[in-house]
Amino acid sequence: MNIKKKKDGNTLTVVISGRIDTATAPGASASINESLDDVQSLILDFTGVDYISSAGLRMLLALQKKMMARDGMKLIGVNDDVNDVFEVTGFDEILTYEKR
């Protein structure tokens, strides 16, 4: 998995590519969380994400909870496979996201 971060004012955009699973979610979570100190809005670009496991869902849930106290979190570029996971697990009701 690859992560690239770009900060613009109080908005952090994180471009993620690859798989978010048991092996990669802890590192991704740590990398994102270390950059959230003065961030009010978080955008996760999922254009390059081709798979997400339950560990990735837990990471998203934790980030969502943290960002709810601020201006929020949004996912962009979600593909059909990841969208299917969101729908089956009910995350489509929890997360704000745009399909590609």
Number of domains within the chain: 1
pLDDT tens track for 26-44: 999 999 999 999 999 999 9
pLDDT tens track for 40-83: 999 999 999 999 999 999 999 999 999 999 999 999 999 999 99
Write out the two tokens for 14: 């994180």
Domain ranges, residue 77: 2-99
Q: Give pLDDT, residue 57.
A: 98
CATH assignment at residue 60:
3.30.750.24
Helix (H, G, I), strand (E, B) or coil at 32: helix
Q: Give pLDDT, residue 25.
A: 98
d(CA 36, CA 39): 5
Q: Is the dihedral of CA 20, 34, 78, 47 positive or negative?
A: negative
Q: Are 46 and 28 a contacting pair, CB within 8 Å?
A: no
